[in-house]
Structure 1
Amino acid sequence: MRDNAEQVRVLIERWAEAVHQGRLDTVVADHAEDIVMFDVPPPYRGVRGADAYREVWPDFFAWQAQGAAFDIEELEVTAGQDVAFAHALVRCGTEDELTSHPELRLRLTLGLRREAGRWVVAHEHHSFPDLSSP
């Protein structure tokens, strides 16, 4: 199982680097055709399907190009033979946002499955903590 966990870790790290660099083809490459993503911005019922997943990234890349960070700080992976899950904390924000809230981290959860001998992300969830409460 260790090899599976390492394969998943490499996949996620490659994905995060592609997000950071704005490389759309690599960002979407290891995702299932029926991907479901729950993201911070709408749509509130989630993004469903590979085409819809691809469509959300250009706006994020435009925001990130203004100098925002996207760096995995912690990553935990659990993998079996056919399914895996991972959770991570990601330093994600503009310099001003991260200066105002230095502990702010994007929470990332991924569910993966093996398809045709390779790992694909079937579920992706992003969230930030609610900063309106003390």
Structure 2
Amino acid sequence: MQNTEDTAQIRSLIETWTQAVHRGDLAAVMADHASDIVMFDVPPPERGVRGADEYRDCWPPFFEFQAGGGSFDIDELEVVAGGEVAYAYALLQCDTPEGRAAHPDRRLRLTLGLRKEGGRWVVAHEHHSFTLAP
């Protein structure tokens, strides 16, 4: 059974995280992620990013993209929460102004796996992808 309080907490966590990414606020980006986070991202490495240190290290280049006008804005967000685990999936606008103008329907696909640790939700898995361009 879906817990609406947990769903609301997770939705807020994700919205706060995307705002932190957009601002380039590394401490806030890291705040609600598990120490053993696994992320499969669009850029390498092929086997993903594993652990908080590797996760932290992957953000500065993306912040440079953001500083150059890149977007990271939620278009759609769905959250499914159980008692101890949850998942969320979203579509985000994530591109340069030129890219958005050329491909206005292109979206970043985001999937998150969450678990409760000490009574609070943390992101344990993060997966980003784009479709292949024609």
TM range (shorter): over 0.9
- For 2:40 and 2:124, locate their aligned partners in 1 and report how far apart those are by CA, in whole Å: 12
- For 1:13 and 1:64, locate their aligned partners in 2 and report how far apart those are by CA, in whole Å: 17
The alignment's C-alpha RMSD in Å is 0.5
Matches within 5 A, 1:1-134: 1-132=3-134
TM-score by length of 2: 0.97
Stretches of structure 2 lacking an aligned partner (at least 5 in a row): none
- For 2:13 and 2:115, locate their aligned partners in 1 and report how far apart those are by CA, in whole Å: 12
Alignment deviations for residues 64-119 of structure 1 (CA, whole Å, 9 cap, x no partner): 11111110010000001100000000001001111111101000000000001110
The percentage of counterpart residues that share the same residue type is: 62
Number of equivalent positions: 132
Measure how far apart 1:45 and its partner are. 0.2
TM-score by length of 1: 0.97
- For 2:71 and 2:64, locate their aligned partners in 1 and report how far apart those are by CA, in whole Å: 12
Alignment deviations for residues 2-41 of structure 1 (CA, whole Å, 9 cap, x no partner): 1010110000000000001110000011000000000000
- For 1:56 and 1:84, locate their aligned partners in 2 and report how far apart those are by CA, in whole Å: 24
SS state at 2:109 partner: strand
Stretches of structure 1 lacking an aligned partner (at least 5 in a row): none
Q: Which amino acid aligns with 1:7?
A: Q
Q: Which amino acid aligns with 1:53?
A: Y
SS state at 1:102 partner: coil
